[in-house]
Structure 1
Amino acid sequence: MKKQILAFFSAALLFWNCSGQPAKNVENISALALSEQLKKDPKIQLIDVRTPGEYAGGHIADAPNIDWNGDNFEQKVAVFDKTKPVYVYCKVGGRSTAAGHKLLAMGFTEVYNLEGGILKWDAAGLSDANDKIVGMCSQEFAELIQSDQKVFVNFYAPWCEPCKKMAPYMDQLGEKYKGKLTVARLNADEHKTLVRDMKVDTLPLVQLYENGKVVWQHSGYLSEAELQKHLP
């Protein structure tokens, strides 16, 4: 009974802070829900916490850029109203979640994180139309996967932690399966047009094509042993 009582109070502490108030957490908001919120109130507090380079490559309209990994993040976000909701986003949601927790620690009362980041936003077709082609286009990709042998495609990004873990054995695939498999590793930041057109919304993404058709795919981290089960 004593153990049960201690377990109860330990669990309760997870939901209450030292001031006796319910502990706050960063809440996720979907791309569509955030879009609807912006339609209702275009002046909501929305912050892009990516790098200036990422921001320059495309961002949600009117969202200021305050780099989570940059200098003076706390000082720069202090100008926002802590009593009103604030929304944060990055590429896929990792940095913005960390930034959101920092905002709560600073006294912001309501913090929302764009679930899946701007990658989900783009995949949902919510970005402003842009005719400029960045990287490989859909036609070039279609030609790539029309091959006499199977084609392995890996969408990744240099800042993506699961991608970094997979990089050592991904880099070796071309040589290891030479003559059996065509390997294409595509940096999502350098092939934005293709990522948008294919509605890629999670990194890393691996796909195996045969005669131009996807025969297997996987989103997220994948061990080398598990990957090899699906390769010729």
Structure 2
Amino acid sequence: MKNLRPLGTLLLALIFTTSVFAQQSKKRELLSFEAFEAKLNAAGKNAQILDARLPEEYVQNHLEGAVSFSIADKTDFEKQSAKLSKEKPVFIYSIGNGRSGVLAADLRAAGFKDVTEIPGGLSKWIGLGRPVISTTGKGLSRDEYTASLKSDKLVLVDFGSRYCPGCKRLDPTIDSIKTEQAANVKVIKIEAYENKSLVKELGVVGLPTLILYKNNEVVWQKKGGASKAEIEKALKGQTL
């Protein structure tokens, strides 16, 4: 019987750990975009909207009613969160759901009862044509964009942001392809948040997004990170 005690203790620990992990995973689950919008609208003036990006990103584009909430350290977090009500709903966004997820977890740990992230972040919000307060202008028109695609080569368009971690990780790969395949591929980089109308028209709802054109027609598209091998495979498939 004594030999069973350590096993029983181990099983209890495993059950507890699994339970905690399940609760954390459940908290991290994101609403559908439609459900998020409905919840935000229902909250009305009680909505506390937080922009988890850098202040300079906030200045460029932000949701109406949002406040800049870029937290540098624990002291800063405690100071800023003290200005909020733990009883009112909190809505958070970043470019995707990276920084917003970290802030959401911190707020829940601090006792905030109702914390919700924008599913897909600001990139999806803008890509779906939802309004923002902006200082960047509309950027390229659809006609100007279409004109830039005219080429005898394949055209690889990279929609990203200089503030997007995933975009930064992809940059060296895109630069490498631009150099190595200059004879076959024309590479165009688009700063998404400076071209909001274009992003909306093309339905770009995540960053980075790669779109490959051949004779002005889309032949391949990928949202999120892509390896060099994956991109090269897509390019090779159009040059055979």
Give the helix-richer structure, 1 or 2: 2
Q: 1:171 is matched with which residue: 175, 190, 203?
A: 175
CA-atom RMSD in angstroms: 2.9
The correspondence for 1:58, drawn from 57, 61, 64, is: 61
- Between the aligned partners of 1:123 and 1:8, the Cα distance in structure 2 is 47
TM-score scaled by length of structure 2: 0.82
Contact 1:26 1:112 in 2 (8 A): no
1:97 aligns with 2:98: no
CA distance in 1, matches of 2:228, 2:12: 41
CA distance in 2 between partners of 1:135 and 1:27 (Å): 34
How far apart are 1:53 and its partner, in Å? 1.9
Name structure 1 gaps, 5 residues minimum.
none
Residues 137, 194 of structure 1: 8 Å contact kept: yes
CA shift, 1:210, in A, is 0.9
Counterparts of 1:203-222 in structure 2 under 5 Å? 203-222=207-226
Identity across matched positions, percent: 31
Query: Is the 8 Å Cα contact of residues 62 and 133 (structure 2) preserved in structure 1?
Result: no
1-side partners of 2:120 and 2:163: how far apart? Answer: 15
Choose the corresponding residue for 1:72, options 73, 76, 92: 76
- Contact 2:61-2:133 within 8 A present in 1 as well: no
Change (3 A) 1:92 1:16: closer
**In structure 2, distance between residues paired with 1:158 and 1:11:** 43
Inter-partner Cα distance in structure 2 for 1:74 and 1:47: 15
Q: Is the 8 A contact 2:206 2:224 kept in 1?
A: yes
Does residue 82 in structure 1 map to residue 86 in structure 2?
A: yes
The structure 1 residue matched to 2:194, chosen from 190, 200, 203, is 190
**Separation in structure 1 between the aligned mates of residue 217 and residue 39 of structure 2, nearest angstrom:** 38
